[in-house]
Amino acid sequence: MNRGLVRTTGYELRQSAASAAARRRRRAPGGQPGDRLLHAPVFVMCSVRSGSTLLRVLLDSHSRIHAPQELHLRDLTVKVKTDYAAKALGEIGLDDEHMRFLLWDRLLQRELASSGKEILVNKTPNDVFVSELIARCWSDARFIYLLRHPGAIARSRQQTRPQDSSDRNARMVLRYGNAIEEARAARPGITVRYEELAEDPRGATRRICTFLGVPWESSMLEYGRFDHGRLKPGLGDWKEKIKSGAVQPPEPPPPLEEIHPSLHELCVAWGYAPAPAPAVQPAT
């Protein structure tokens, strides 16, 4: 007897068969007709400390747009625990991923319905790490890409997490930056810069409203007049600047020599620093 042989249990075989059945019954991305209650949701793809809470409250101040607090879809999963359940769900074309998508859809649709508005804008920075899943869940999803000077992101994050070393801080910023770039390359959307949003909120929100297909409203610039939920850690920015209720100009970015070297390439890619001059080859 070959003791190195890996035996497959009956449960594993049934789970595999159920998953195969679910895959066979899959239709277009976004599930089968009737699976999605929420239509054309909007997702902000961004880094931490990029001004996404400011963008959220400005959009949430529109009479037709609901932008709730961070909901952390990435951390909401569904696990089918038994072979009976897997088999039953497989018969109707469902598996763990489908169930997770149904949960996401119902959560966001519930949020939108409770607001009485028409358009749902979801912003949680770690959504950028599941952007492909989001696009699979909602085939009609729309994307807003929010950029900020990487050096300014790193400085802001370091201030909120002083326990992190500068190397770890830069790695985290770069991780988000790379994920944003991957998402931008894969899925079209509108790109907005935090600096533009803070310096010219009228112009920036007008562009976004055009992208979303709604008329611009001046009330968006007075976000302090509206209730946007609690501003606290884990739900978005909670600092005094956002709690002031008024858009404030951005701080100047740090000079390039003060930015971690690992972020220089991202600064160039996002247009915040010139590309380095090509090395001069020695004459032969």
Q: pLDDT tens track of the chain, all 284 residues?
A: 444 444 555 555 555 655 554 455 544 444 566 789 999 999 999 999 999 999 999 999 999 999 999 999 999 999 999 999 999 999 998 999 999 999 999 999 999 999 999 999 999 999 999 999 999 999 999 999 999 999 999 999 999 899 999 999 999 999 999 999 999 999 999 999 999 999 999 999 999 999 999 999 999 999 988 887 776 676 676 566 766 778 889 999 999 899 999 999 999 999 999 887 676 666 66
Amino acid 29: pLDDT? 45
CATH of the domain at 59: 3.40.50.300
Amino acid 219: pLDDT? 93
Residue range of the domain that includes 64: 37-269
Q: What CA–CA distances, in Å, run from 131 to 116, 124, 212?
A: 26, 11, 19
Residue with tokens 């804008």, as numbered in its chain: 121
Amino acid 4: pLDDT? 45
Q: Would you say residue 18 lies in a domain?
A: no
Q: Would you say residue 14 lies in a domain?
A: no
CA distance 204 to 245: 18
Q: Would you say residue 47 lies in a domain?
A: yes
Q: Would you say residue 145 lies in a domain?
A: yes
Give 134's contacts (C-beta < 8 A, 6+ positions apart): 43, 73, 127, 141
Q: Would you say residue 277 lies in a domain?
A: no
CA distance 55 to 154: 19
Amino acid 6: pLDDT? 44
Q: Would you say residue 282 lies in a domain?
A: no
pTM of the predicted model as reported, rounded to 2 decimal places: 0.84
How many separate domains does the chain show? 1
Amino acid 17: pLDDT? 53
CA distance 20 to 125: 33
Q: Would you say residue 217 lies in a domain?
A: yes
Q: What CA–CA distances, in Å, run from 232 to 45, 47, 53, 161?
A: 20, 18, 11, 15
Q: Would you say residue 118 lies in a domain?
A: yes
SS3 193: strand
Amino acid 239: pLDDT? 62
Amino acid 3: pLDDT? 44
Amino acid 282: pLDDT? 67
